[in-house]
Amino acid sequence: MPSDSDDSVSERGKVLTEEELDLTRHDNVDELDDGRYVVSTGSGRTSDEATEARDDERRARESEPMIDESEADGEPDITEMDVNAWLEDYFRTIDAQYGFHVTAKFDDGVGRHQVVSNDVVTSFESLLIWYAQHVGGGTPVEDVLGILLAEANVSVRYPVRTLTGLLKRYDLDRDDSIGDLIEAVSDEQAVALSED
């Protein structure tokens, strides 16, 4: 029966010394950084080769840009200024005369809208329609826009030809009075001012 003395403990059950646990003293072990090692299973490198490999790895790590913790977690640290600068650069390079990118908060969340166009009216109309759709709560867009403009502290000046279009729609001409116009539109909740 084997004895329990230290001399009779098999090689397999031997307690390792602190020196034996030090991986860095072996030629076939390369330390990448604190607590990370590469262990070669083939013939070991010479100690000069191992030192050179460690130095190369350290130089490569030092040349990499520093990453803050939010980037390491998959969330890059992008500021509002970064976004604004990117959008400004982007719109400077588009091949159109007009363009915008709008991000807006509404009761039901956040919406984004982007348009690029060579037509100033199309660009503006797109913005107005998008905004009215988000704030209208189901009210038709033309009514929302009329309410917003009527309630705003901005006095809107329409070209005279829009009034001419309104008169034609109700079969009125120069001989009719303002009273005739009021009577013609009295059944309407709103009227559209347009050129046709």
Q: Is 40 part of any domain? A: yes
- Please tell me the total count of domains within the chain: 3
175-189 pLDDT, tens per residue?
Answer: 888 888 888 888 777
For residue 72, what pLDDT is reported?
56
Residues 142 and 192 grouped into a single domain: no
Sequence letter at residue 34: D
Band of pLDDT at residue 132, cut at 50, 70 and 90: very high
Q: Which residue has the tokens 């913005």?
A: 127
Query: Residue 191: is its pLDDT beyond 70?
Result: yes
CA atoms within 13 A on the CB side of 190: 13
* Pair 149, 161 in one domain: no
Q: Do 55 and 117 have their domain in common?
A: no
Both 57 and 90 in one domain: the answer is no
Q: 100: domain range? A: 80-154
Residue 90 lies in a domain: yes
The answer to the question of residue 118 being in a domain is yes
Task: Give the Cα separation of 3 and 156 in Å (integer).
Answer: 106
**138 and 170 part of one domain:** no
Q: Which of 61, 90, 116 is the last residue of a domain?
A: 61
Instruction: Looking at the structure, tell me whether residues 164 and 190 fall in a common domain.
Output: yes
**CA dihedral for 51, 54, 60, 61, sign (positive or negative):** negative
pLDDT tens sequence across 24-68: 666 666 665 565 555 555 554 455 665 566 566 655 555 555 555
Confidence at residue 187, expressed as pLDDT on a 0 to 100 scale? 79
| Whether 44 contacts 27, CB under 8 Å | yes
For position 59, what pLDDT does the model report?
58
| In a shared domain, residues 167 and 193 | yes
pTM, entire model: 0.51
Q: Is residue 69 part of a domain?
A: no
Looking at the fold, whether 106 and 143 belong to one and the same domain comes out as yes
Give percent of the chain above pLDDT 70. 61
Shared domain check, 168 and 142: no
What confidence category does residue 21 fall into, taking pLDDT thresholds of 50, 70 and 90?
A: low
Residue 2 has pLDDT above 60, yes or no: no
What backbone phi and psi angles, to 5 degrees, belong to 79?
A: -95, 170
- Same domain flag for 142 and 85: yes
Cα within 13 Å of Cα(148), Cβ side: 15
Dist. CA 121–CA 77, nearest whole Å: 38
Residues 137-141: what's their mean pLDDT?
Answer: 89
Q: Within this chain, do residues 147 and 166 fall inside the same structural domain, yes or no?
A: no
pLDDT the model gives residue 189: 74
